[in-house]
Structure 1
Amino acid sequence: MAPDKPIRVRNRLRRKELFAKYKDERNKRRHEERAERAKEELENPELKAKRLAENVPNTIESMRVFDETVNAELEGTDEFSEYFENTDKDPKVLVTTSENPKKNGLIFAKMLQDFLPGSVFVERKEKYTMKDMASYCSNRQFSDLIVVNEDKNKVTGITFIHLPTGPTFYFSVTNIIESKKIAGHGNPTSHIPELILNNFSTRLGQTVGRLFQSLFPHRPQFQGRQVVTLHNQRDFIFFRRHRYKFKNEKRVGLQELGPQFTMKLRRVQKGIREEIDWEHKPSMDRDKKKFYL
Structure 2
Amino acid sequence: MGFSKPPVQALKVANKVKRKELFIAHKKASNKERHEERHRRRREENRDPELKAARLAKNVPRTLEHKRVWDDVDDDSLGAVVDLEQLKRRRIEQAEAEERAAIEAAENMEEDDDDDNDSMLDSDEDEDEEAREARLERQREKRAQRVPSIAPSTTSTNLDLTPISLALKFPSLFNDEPPPEPKILVTTSLNSTLHDEAHMLCTLFPNSRYIPRSSHRYGYKYSLREICKFSASKDYTAVVLMKEDLKKPTGLSIVHLPKGPTFHFTISNWIEGKKLPGHGNPTNHYPELMLNNFKTPLGLLTAKLFQTMFPPRPEFEGRQVVALHNQRDFIFVRRFRYAFRDKRATEKSVVDAEGKALEGVESIRAGLQELGPRFTLKLRRVDKGIGRAGSEGEDATQWEWKSKMEKDRKRFNL
TM-score above 0.5, yes or no: yes
Is 2:214 the partner of 1:91? no
Is 2:163 the partner of 1:75? yes
- For 1:177 and 1:238, locate their aligned partners in 2 and report how far apart those are by CA, in whole Å: 12
Map of 2:126 onto structure 1: none
Structure with a larger share of its residues in helix: 2
Is 2:397 the partner of 1:282? no
Q: Flag the 1:169–1:22 CA change in 2: closer, same or farther, 3 A.
A: same
- For 1:279 and 1:13, locate their aligned partners in 2 and report how far apart those are by CA, in whole Å: 61
Report the 3-state secondary structure (helix = DSSP H, G, I; strand = E; otherwise coil) of the residue aligned with 2:68: coil
Structure with larger Rg: 2
- For 1:14 and 1:141, locate their aligned partners in 2 and report how far apart those are by CA, in whole Å: 82
- For 1:219 and 1:17, locate their aligned partners in 2 and report how far apart those are by CA, in whole Å: 69
Q: How does 1:207-222 map to 2 (within 5 A)?
A: 207-222=301-316
Contact 2:163–2:297 (8 Å) recurs in 1: no
Map of 1:48 onto structure 2: 52
Higher mean C-alpha displacement, 192-201 vs 126-135: 126-135
Contact 2:286–2:311 (8 Å) recurs in 1: yes
- For 1:146 and 1:283, locate their aligned partners in 2 and report how far apart those are by CA, in whole Å: 29
Higher mean C-alpha displacement, 187-196 vs 14-23: 14-23
4+ residue runs over 4 A deviation: none
TM (norm. structure 2) is 0.65
Contact 2:83–2:295 (8 Å) recurs in 1: yes
Contact 2:270–2:373 (8 Å) recurs in 1: yes
Report the 3-state secondary structure (helix = DSSP H, G, I; strand = E; otherwise coil) of the residue aligned with 2:29: helix
| Among candidates 383, 392, 397, match of residue 269 of structure 1 | 383
Q: Flag the 1:95–1:33 CA change in 2: closer, same or farther, 3 A.
A: same
- Aligned partner letter, 1:101: S
Percentage identity across paired residues of the two chains: 48
Report the 3-state secondary structure (helix = DSSP H, G, I; strand = E; otherwise coil) of the residue aligned with 1:53: helix
Q: How does 1:20-35 map to 2 (within 5 A)?
A: 20-35=24-39
Q: How does 1:133-282 map to 2 (within 5 A)?
A: 133-248=227-342, 250-273=364-387, 274=391, 275-282=396-403
Question: Post-superposition shift, 1:13?
Answer: 4.7
Equivalences, count? 287
Structure with a larger share of its residues in strand: 1
Q: Flag the 1:24–1:202 CA change in 2: closer, same or farther, 3 A.
A: farther
TM (norm. structure 1) is 0.91
Higher mean C-alpha displacement, 43-52 vs 274-283: 43-52
| Among candidates 94, 98, 101, match of residue 192 of structure 2 | 101
- For 2:226 and 2:68, locate their aligned partners in 1 and report how far apart those are by CA, in whole Å: 42
Contact 2:186–2:202 (8 Å) recurs in 1: yes
Question: Post-superposition shift, 1:109?
Answer: 1.2
Q: Flag the 1:20–1:238 CA change in 2: closer, same or farther, 3 A.
A: farther
Q: Give RMSD over aligned pairs.
A: 2.0
- Aligned partner letter, 1:190: N
- For 1:262 and 1:164, locate their aligned partners in 2 and report how far apart those are by CA, in whole Å: 27
- For 1:224 and 1:183, locate their aligned partners in 2 and report how far apart those are by CA, in whole Å: 21
Is 2:413 the partner of 1:292? yes
Q: What per-residue deviation string (whole Å, max 9, x for no partner) do you get for residues 81-131 of structure 1? A: 24x7415x31111100111111xx222211110111111111125521111
Q: What per-residue deviation string (whole Å, max 9, x for no partner) do you get for residues 51-108 of structure 1? A: 23333221111111124521342123333124x7415x31111100111111xx2222
